[in-house]
Structure formats: structure tokens, C-alpha cells
Amino acid sequence: MNDKADIIRWFRASSAYINAHRNKIFVVLLTGEALSDKNLPNIVFDLSLLHSLGVKLVLVHGARPQISAALREKGHESQYHRNLRITTPDVIELVKERVGALSVTLKSLFSMGMYNSPMHGADLRLCRGNFITAKPVGVHDGIDFHYTGEIRKIQVEAIRQQLENGNVVMLSNLGYSLSGEVFNLSAERVATETAIALAADKLILMIPDEGVRDGSGELLLSLSHEDAATYAEEFAARSDSDSQSIAQALQAALLAYRSKVHRCHLISYREDGALLRELFTRRGNGSLLSNDNFDRLRVAQIEDVAGILALIKPLETDGTLVQRSRELLENEIGNFLVIELEDTIVACAALYPISDSSGELACIAIDPQHQGAGFGDRLLLELEARAREKGLSSLFVLTTVTAHWFLERGFETVAMEQLPERRQRLYNMQRKSKVLRKRLG
């Protein structure tokens, strides 16, 4: 962002989100993996910023890799049954030690982050307490899980009270029984059940990747319930630890979603600023499982050709768009993005590379019944982001009737000669389209 206007536009655009998030409850899971990532200080800073913007934060941290490492140091292997760690009396002592140390480190990072950063002077109090009552998992298949526990009760009112007092609540994978014993819980479970019990506005799960990716590596910005269930299974079947973490996050998100936590975000803990981009920009920067994403922005597939044709036909007939045959559309389908609403294509747009450094945005069309709902803006933002990812520095559009819509979105009118030569040769003199360009910066 190098231009004053961009800064102002960005700041104004984010203010809508600042207002929307104020006083909302967000439960954030920081897994043990996230705690050992070098990006942790930035995450802590961004969480402090969220707190200062009035978000009520409950942080839940895990310690799985740290516990496994501690066991290895002592020459023991971690023992699991049914995907659950068996926490013998020796192991629980190690667990308490490691979780305690991590809690202290996290707490100190919050204090240091404030002191050493522009957040210096902001008032942030972290509150830890025995908010989670636990009970033993017990004996299954003849195997005693000892101090592996499950959640019995969450002290919802006590947590709410802390949040009302302006404190950030910090929980971990430890729970306490009424008889004073300490149990080792799943941090995912603590985060999920706390979000459900508090009827939190968001459950945020920090994962190793930018979000969930489909088979072709495409980031899925929004996930339906069905998608999440399918990907949870797919990732669980892979053996690498990143896929396992994503599978666990998806399972946690699904559980929360089914229990009416309506927005569950999967956001990278490795990428600096991912949390802020997901929460304060329209495009987001992660995968969102929510019940209000019944509209879905995605890359078009061959099955969408009929839907796109139905959408653009009237605009071709009245001359707003140039004619495209079915064959051409089939060949170029990979350039298209669509928005699908209840199984119907309601919006589309395409990006064509026209030189090494520039692209052309074409065929943007929104179903008349859905115009004015921001779909045009969403497609434009997504195409701009994709153009940047491809290393393009400017985006052209040729239009006969929609110039103002683009001008209001940072495009400028340029002479036809500014188009790359290859594209100039295809310019249709009879249509007299205006040529607009946006520098992508």
C-alpha cells in the first residue's frame, strides 16, 4: 500500500469490521505447534490489537508437541489409544510442567509485546483460572487412560465475568476435578466446548496452512458444512503432521458449527498478519465455515458452463458483453470465477493474462436479482488478488456501459494504445469500448 488513497480506502473499509467485532466473543485456539512457531510474537501482537478494539477474547493453548518432546527427552515414547494420549501418573507431572511453562511464556509475550510495540500503553490483563472442570476418560478396551480427561463443566459465568471486566481469559489443555486432581485434555476440545458454552461469535483455529486447500491446491475461502466434513476425512487420512492438525481443526469447527457457533475460521499461524486480514478484509485470509456462506465464491468448473451462459446471454443480447460460444467458454473456463447461491450461478467474472505484466478482467456479470449485494466487489477483489499472485502489475478492463463502476474502484481511463500490442490487435473498433486500467501495486 503505497498510495495515500489506498491507505484511506483500506482504513475506511476496515472500520465496518472494527464496529462489527466490538464486544463480540472470540475463542482462539493456539495449538502447541502454533506456540513454537516463529510467528507467535506477531500473533500475540495482533490478539492484543483485537482486545484493544473491544473484542472479548478467550485464548486456549495446547502443548501436544512440547509434551511429546519432554517424554522423548526422558526416553519415553508417547502412548496413544483411540487417538488419545495415555496420561500415566508420571506423564501428568510432565504435562503440568510443560503446560505451566507455556502458559507463563505466553503471558510474558503478551506483556513484552505490549511494551515493545505500538500497543505500548494499552491495558491488557490476562486471567488464568480453574474454569474447566474435568473427569477421567476411564478404562476402555482394558486400557486405563489414567489422567487423560474429558470436560465435565465449563464455568461459563466466571469466564463471562472476566470478559465483562475487560480481561482476556486464558485456558489450556488442563482441567481440574472436584477432588483436586489435574487432567490432560484435548486443547481442541477445550476451545470448541468453551465456544459452544459461551455461545461465542467466532471460534478461531490457528492452523499450519493458509486455510483448507482443495485437490488442486486452491484455497477454499468459504466452506460448507459438507465440504468441511469431506476435507476433515481427507486430511485425517494423510500422515503428515500439518494435515493431521488441519483435520483436527476441521473436526473442531464442525462440532462447534453443529452446536450453533456460526462462524469458525481456520487461519494460518505461520503467516504474519493472517489473523488481521481474515477479520478485517472482505476477501479474508483463511477458510471460514459459517452458516451465512450459502453463497460461495469459487473457481468455475466445466459443469458451470450452462449456468454462466444463462447469466451472460441477456447481456450479450443487449450488447453489454461480447458474444462467447459454448466451446470458447469451455476452453476458457479455468479463467472464470463464479459465485454460487443455492446451487445457482448468480455471478461470474474472468481474468485473462494479456502480457507478462498485465491481465484483463472480462465478462463480469451479476444476476439482476442480486445486483447491489456486493457480489461485483467480491469478484473484483478476488480477481485482483489472483492477478497479484500471478505477478501481474496492471489490470485492464474494456467496457461500454460500466466505466463508472470501475472508476469508483480505482481504475483510470487510458488510451487504447496503452493496451499490450497483442490485445490492441483484437480491439473491436465498432464497439468503441472504453479502456480502463488499474495498477495493482
H-assigned helices in 207-304:
225-236, 241-258, 274-280
CB of 351 to ligand COA, least distance (A): 13
Q: Confirm if 266 and 250 have CB atoms less than 8 A apart.
A: yes
Burial status of residue 338 (CB atoms within 10 A of its CB: 0-12, 13-18, 19 or more) = buried
CB closest to ligand COA, residue no = 376
CB of 316 to ligand COA, least distance (A): 10
CB of 285 to ligand COA, least distance (A): 20
Question: Contacts with ligand COA in 202-231 (CB under 6 A)?
Answer: none
Please work out the total of residues on this chain that contact ligand COA, with binding judged by CB under 6 A: 19
Give the cell for residue 324.
Answer: 462467447
CB of 329 to ligand COA, least distance (A): 16
Angle between helices 187-198 and 156-164 (to 10 degrees): 80
Among candidate residues 339, 322, 336, the one with its CA nearest the CA of residue 431: 322
Burial status of residue 405 (CB atoms within 10 A of its CB: 0-12, 13-18, 19 or more) = middle
CB of 415 to ligand COA, least distance (A): 18
* Helix, strand, or coil (residue 70): helix
Of the two residues 116 and 413, which places its CB atom closer to ligand COA in the complex? 413
Indicate whether 377 belongs to the interface with ligand COA (CB under 6 A). yes
Q: Confirm if 420 and 354 have CB atoms less than 8 A apart.
A: yes
Indicate whether 320 belongs to the interface with ligand COA (CB under 6 A). yes
Binding mask 112-141 for ligand COA (x = CB under 6 A): ------------------------------
The residue to which cell 469458525 is assigned? 264
CB of 365 to ligand COA, least distance (A): 5
The CA distances from residue 7 to 2, 13, 379, 380, 389, in Å, are 8, 10, 21, 18, 21
Question: Contacts with ligand COA in 233-262 (CB under 6 A)?
Answer: none
Indicate whether 315 belongs to the interface with ligand COA (CB under 6 A). yes
Indicate whether 427 belongs to the interface with ligand COA (CB under 6 A). no
Of the two residues 60 and 365, which places its CB atom closer to ligand COA in the complex? 365
DSSP state of 401: S
CB of 201 to ligand COA, least distance (A): 25
Segment contacting ligand COA by CB under 6 A, of 84-92, 145-153, 302-310, 393-401: 393-401
* Helix, strand, or coil (residue 57): strand
E runs forming strands in 270-320: 286-290, 295-299
Binding mask 329-368 for ligand COA (x = CB under 6 A): -----------------------------------xxx--
Of the two residues 78 and 433, which places its CB atom closer to ligand COA in the complex? 433
387's CB contacts (< 8 A; 6+ apart) are 351, 359, 395, 440
Indicate whether 372 belongs to the interface with ligand COA (CB under 6 A). yes
CB of 270 to ligand COA, least distance (A): 32
Contact residues for ligand COA, defined by CB under 6 A: 315, 320-321, 364-366, 371-377, 397, 399, 401-402, 404-405
